[in-house]
Amino acid sequence: MTLSPQLLGRLAVLALAAGLLQVAAVSQVSVLGVRADLTPLVVMSVGLLCGSVAGALVGFGLGLFTDAALLQTLGISSLILLTVGYAAGRLRELRDPAHALTPIAVGVAGTATAAVGFSFMQFLLGVDAPVSLLLIREILATIVLNAILALPVYALVRRVLLPFLPGDPRRRRRRAYMTGGLSPISRA
Amino acid sequence: MLALLVALSLTLLTAYFGEPAGGALHALQRGVLQVLAPIQEGAGVALKPVRDLAGWFGDTLHARSERDELLRERDALRQEVISNESAAADNQRLRRLLELDRAGISAYQPVTATVIGRSPTVWYSTLTIDRGSVDGVRVDQPVVNGDGLVGKITAVSHGAAQVTLVTDHTSGVSARVVAPRVADRANGVYGVVQTAIGNPQDLLLNFVSRTSQLSRGDRVVTAGSRSNRLESLFPAGIPIGVVTRVDDEELSQYQRVHIRPFADLQRLNFVQVLTRPAAGAAARAQSP
């Protein structure tokens, strides 16, 4: 999928809005002791809708924004989220999944990759404090919360990017069904 | 493209990790914080109803168990207040006798700030607040709320600052146990409060000797220090938390004391930064 300047502009605005929403609102809302993390969901949605290059670009940008805005170690979130975006994009390019529940599965995988990847990077950089086993519970709870949010986030991202999505699998299949001879009406 | 982005991320990571706190990338981050602070503040205000709604659900779920726990705590504290009143009078007399000057929190000027941002990951327990250097906020100043210690300032821009919470893995606070058992009164019970990553409701009081007798319900406050060589960042006497469990590890010379923080660090809307000491107190502290 080619990345037009208009699409790039819209992706930049989307990433900025998602980053701000995460930092200013979502991170401050605790649901049963855990917080949702919209960033892997947004990156996953862009990857699924626009492909690997767009997914990687948005992942890198959103990660950089998060690290810069929260004064975290620069580069960690970028590296992890670009992996999530690229992987979601490759899934679309290789498998072209059209099932309605695909965003949930990919959202769970993306969140798990982000959480485990972040922990792994922190261990590589050195941790001074003991690590509680409850970290695993925290990661699992975040994954569950993100799984619930995956579909609405995907739908919202899809709506924002819709004018630039000629290759959206669901629309493409619908078009093929109606105009490509698959419809019983056209056969008649 | 992918290789370029990965290389860029790794370069940033390496450069950031290797440079000192005053380096170019850190300065760039403070600049970003400066630009984003008003936007975050606006977004925070606009999205407050959403946060409040989610908070209301959480509060309702926890209210019942919290009420029972608070009632038990109230009964215990009522007993304690009675015995403390006479101890406080003794304490004042002894302080005057020893000419101790521990002004504590009253020596600082509190600046109230609103929380405008928060890190989403458990690995970074940080907040962004809407007060910065223009309000007198400086790096390493203590941050409290009505319940107790919250953390300290770790980065400051013109109009915003970053607070690293006591639950962050980089945090360490010298602390003491209030009203230790008779056997420990001579030396007091001191330790360092650190966190266990992944469990923000469980702080650890480390380096407490195995001979010290601690039990559930003991309260822990900041130790503070007036040593000229190593002055503590935190004034003495700020409540940190209450002891919930003591692990006596046989192979270690220290006990591992678990503490539940007084401050609800999951839901912080307002905090107070303890900025520079008030003029009178500073002069008192410096005088021999």
| Interface predicted TM-score of the whole assembly (ipTM), two decimals | 0.74
8 Å CB contact of A130 and B33: no
**Residue B34 placed within a domain:** yes
pTM of the model: 0.72
Domain layout of chain A by residue ranges: 5-187
**Residue B29 placed within a domain:** yes
Q: Which residues of A touch B58 (CB under 8 A)?
A: 30-32
**Res B117: pLDDT:** 84
**Closest CB from B47, B55, B155 relative to A71:** B155
CA distances from B20 to A64, A109, B23, B123, B166 (A): 19, 36, 5, 21, 22
- End-to-end distance of chain A based on CA atoms, in angstroms? 35
Number of domains in chain B: 1
Q: Which residues of A touch B5 (CB under 8 A)?
A: 56-57, 60, 78, 82
**Res B286: pLDDT:** 45
Q: What chain B residue is nearest to A79 in terms of C-alpha separation? A: B9
Q: Which CATH architecture has domain A5-187?
A: Orthogonal Bundle (1.10)
**Res B84: pLDDT:** 78
**Res A157: pLDDT:** 92
User: What 3-state DSSP class applies to B139?
Assistant: coil
**Residue B137 placed within a domain:** no
Spatial distance between the Cα atoms of B255 and A34, rounded to a whole number of angstroms: 29
**Residue B32 placed within a domain:** yes
**Residue B31 placed within a domain:** yes
8 Å CB contact of B124 and A70: yes
Spatial distance between the Cα atoms of B41 and B23, rounded to a whole number of angstroms: 27
Q: List per-residue pLDDT tens for chain B, 288 residues long.
A: 788 888 888 888 888 888 887 788 888 888 888 888 888 888 778 777 877 777 777 677 777 777 888 888 888 887 778 777 767 777 776 666 555 445 556 678 888 898 888 887 777 788 889 898 898 899 889 998 888 889 999 989 888 899 998 888 888 888 888 865 655 555 678 888 888 777 777 888 888 887 777 888 888 888 876 555 666 778 888 888 888 888 877 667 788 888 888 888 877 888 999 887 655 544 444 444
Q: Which residues of chain A have pLDDT under 50?
A: none
In angstroms, what separates the C-alpha of A56 from chain B's closest C-alpha? 7
Closest residue by Cα to residue B240 from B186, B180, B181, B165: B165
8 Å CB contact of B120 and A27: yes
Structural domain of B16: 2-46
Closest residue by Cα to residue A39 from A113, A96, A91, A95: A113
**Residue B36 placed within a domain:** yes
B104 Ramachandran zone, left/alpha/beta (phi>0; psi -120 to 50): left
**Res B163: pLDDT:** 92
Spatial distance between the Cα atoms of B210 and A61, rounded to a whole number of angstroms: 50
Q: Which residues of A touch B27 (CB under 8 A)?
A: none
In angstroms, what separates the C-alpha of A70 from chain B's closest C-alpha? 6
Spatial distance between the Cα atoms of B255 and B247, rounded to a whole number of angstroms: 6
**Res A12: pLDDT:** 92
